[in-house]
Structure 1
Amino acid sequence: MHVNLPIVNVPTGQITLRADSSSIKADGVSTVQITSEPIRDRYGFTLLPGILIRVTTTNGTVVQGQYVGADQEGRITFTLRSSAAPGQAVITARSIEGDATGTITINFTP
């Protein structure tokens, strides 16, 4: 007998990102911490710890690298380091499996 079980814990929907500041100094050293709200699968369950979310930025550097694992509450937390030039960074968090995605913008000021 073969039973098909649904695949659970595949991230879906919006990833809401919040930063501890909307702007930081453009000096190549300053950082901002960004944390998501709990990321959920299609059944409403939070992600299991360690499930990876890909994080990219258009400016600056994600200190942890491009993959960040979910914590015990299904959240991701990472640090963005500014570039040396003023401008904006659009940070995108996207699930490797599933269709969960979210963005946040951080300004780098002179």
Structure 2
Amino acid sequence: MKNTLDDNKPIFLQIKEQIEDSIIDGNLNAGDRAPSTNEFAKFYKINPATAGKGINELVAEEILYKRRGVGMFVTENAKEILIKKRKKSFYESYMLPLKMEAGKLRMSTDELIEMVKREDNE
């Protein structure tokens, strides 16, 4: 868990993203138990319902599943689902604006690809 929360984003989203990042990074794998709402609440000194909201969204997205009396666990396909979702978001947030700007500058696809391949020190 991160040490602090960001005031600029809803807490439940930050908790959701922390779990997602842990799955993508391999810190939580299929079948692993995810931190509970009470663990998040105690660690961040927040209402358990706030943490629960983020966790429940992950259940709705089939990233986590509940085992009654035991906790929340990572689904078999969680990592693949998250990577697919993040790639779509990456494309929409970064690639589409990049392509639009490249079009304004009359850059060819080849020029754009060369810029992506270029080393930082050039």
Q: Which has the larger radius of gyration?
A: 2
Please report the TM-score for the alignment, with normalisation by the length of structure 2: 0.27
TM-score (norm 1): 0.29
Structure with more of its chain in strand, by fraction: 1
Give the structure with the larger helix fraction: 2
